[in-house]
Structure 1
């Protein structure tokens, strides 16, 4: 094959055909004619589709009529079109486009170059083949260069970010400017714009520096100097000026603090950048923050209790010169000391509750409800721990009278002694102790029958040395319980029966639905379902079940039963019962806390209803009891014919753990601070930690009510009852009774 000479400069090269056949459906001339190859000049029979010497195509369709013509012909034999002139125009046009693409590649405009080259590389006309091949080679080069620049851009962006982290914005700028503008796209383009903006800001701040140093120590001046130091840590003039302004600002802040302008001082010092903060400024800021919080809290408090009194005492200690607030604090302390606490009113309300954010009345169950009180009853434990004895009352009721739930997890001892003990539990009893072995302490209530009505004769609260979830081992947990039981037994009279509820986390609860059926069949069905539902084999558990609710389904005219299976590990229960026996305590009833609470709720709010699943009786409006404990929070919706439970892990102990983590203090000190806000280092910081947890508790209550009412659209909850030790968390009652806000508006004199 003859070699093709290179094209002369400025002259389009001779077109070479592509290695592709002319269309097979285009007819070719017949006969013994010959065709000369335009590439190698070999003579071929006209019947050939390709050159027999170089293998290139011999035929091309006319650009106008598409009739087959020889690749070297000047005019179309069918329509007379000037093929030679058309080819020359195309060659000149393609030569210009290739030159333009080359210039675009040189200035790194690769996308535009590829947009020109790709259509040229796709030409199949043999007369334009050389340009197609040149375009193909240029595409490969363009793509290789583009990928190389992309790699450089990625490396430059990475190094520029490192320079920015070192506050070397000029170095970052040089790195990014070395990347062609066309390659500064996406994150690298954004980074370059950010660097330019920072450099402009540095220049503007540097220009203001002299004026800032001569002006007053305003928060704006401090902010600008601090910003310049943040961007240029080695700016010595800015640092000297910032130090002088910070010292002058501290003097001004102290004067405003003495004048009682607490919120203003906090707002100003909040704007001081970290680079200009000093220990003195931080101390002034924290003091102003706490005094602003206390001023607002004490001026607007709608109630007076131990927490409010401790906050008043704290304020007077921090700001003895503030006579106006001293009078407010003295009045609150006077009212607290003069308030005679009762079971129904353990705290003093300064104004009545308004509409609850829950949209229905919210009550705090602080006493014993409908239970009568013995005249000799000592109320100190109930007054010191309001709302903590409903579970103990419920389980004590189970030992005296017929209750809604009679579940008893006490193991059935088949020995002669065990049968005798069971016979004793069936005898009529006149007195019963109810022990609630809660997470934070033992709550005990002794009931006695006066005629047919139970009355409270004794009440006790024994706090553990630490909450049960903090016990390091099972043996320590048992020791905590034993010590509490020993203390309780040593200072209280006996009773005919002893009924206990287990610590919440020791009980396994699973709920499911079954079709309504005869009791004998129900026992078998529950046993089969419990095998699947319980996470622990039944042979390792003491377990019982309770029917919680009868569900009518009108859509298919069926009746279902909501069933709860309750279990506790046999070895754990036996261990606790053995410990109690060693203390001389014989247990008659073992119940779970929320069913004991249900028994109390039915007794207290539904006195005419005795059956958990009552038939042929109109349902009563249910009551929601929100029991906030140390480890667990239970939402129990009770009525005479139903019990509905939603249990969550938002126990009040979460506050203590957060304080330990956030402030690096011991658990004991965090627990003390939680109970007595005025005993901490900064009550405003405590409120900041507690506020979101209050919202979480309220949101959990709202969510539970929504779930219940969605499943029971005809049984809307009419009232909400709060109980448990967690209700006393400072701020919770205020939020539920009067609403609350996340923001701390400027109080008192600051507002003026």
Structure 2
């Protein structure tokens, strides 16, 4: 018995949902069963149900209070399972004016029928009386007899031992009740771990449908199945809302907030879509955090290329971050100023090198025009610088460069030299163009070019000719081929002359 409870707090009502006013409640009230003849299986099931109700408050309830209530439940169970203790309890309750005897739908109780069919063969399901040899209840259709598994003798459902062989039917009933209770306990463990689908399947699999002796524990299992099914549907609805919120957060680039939304749904109950969104957001949050750190390091080193490449990647994931965008704009403007200074000095390739540091995503119309102008100027200067001979095309390139860069004195000087070196009349039809650029000493390929072959079946007229062939292998293939075609010694019919 609880001797002291917190002021204003009724654990019987709040934890066990007992609504009767008596405190402490009597054993019937404590186990929430009607006074009267109660099958042992129903007593066991009721006690187990109340113990489970207490277990839900282990984490936040008063330990001493919970222990005291648990002891009361055990004593109530022992009282109702012991015939003498139960008889004394029933007598005390009758003396107090408490009706003892479960009633059926017609107001009749199991123990309140002095004569007639109602007292001869009472139904354990509905409490109605039946004729002595009726095998099924006339009121609800439930069976009134069962066969002993030992001797096949029929027994009324209320007997504890077989009237034919003395087999302990009560122990058999207790074992069947125990199996259902164990299934319910396992279901609760799965429920508490939020494995609701498994918990529902577990309790729905118990046997006992239509068996009056298992009515209470079986009904409890089915009630829990319905309750957990309702909970599952509620969780699914909440999961749907979490999916929508997570998608909205990702769309607005608030990746770090998605984890808190996903955590509102227990992990076993999260849908595949919510898990996918949470993983996607977590990955993007991790990348943006790493990029932010790299941006700070690049800014500290004043590495423009590194800064802008990191910022471009960051803004691809978080385009609304004004702080990072402002850093990128500052670096871009700094590059543009440097490029314009190089253009003013007619260092077009160097200007382009600076401008190409700006990623395409950060190039606006003004930057694009600047790159286009610098590219054209650099291309013209490069073409003029690398031209082999002075011809009309080279003169045209020089004139265009001077037109686009009128203050480029070096371009004007080059154009003057071109015009001076261009002959009015060619003195030799084979060499009518003047040389312009000096052939580069280094190969444009970055390495030395080596001839892989040289004329071998060629009879030189002098030692000087032979030495020249060996000193410059491969340079005479075209001349030799044309000479051979001139004397009709080639294998091709194409006229190369």
TM-score normalised per structure 1: 0.32
More strand by share: 1
TM-score normalised per structure 2: 0.46
More helix by share: 2
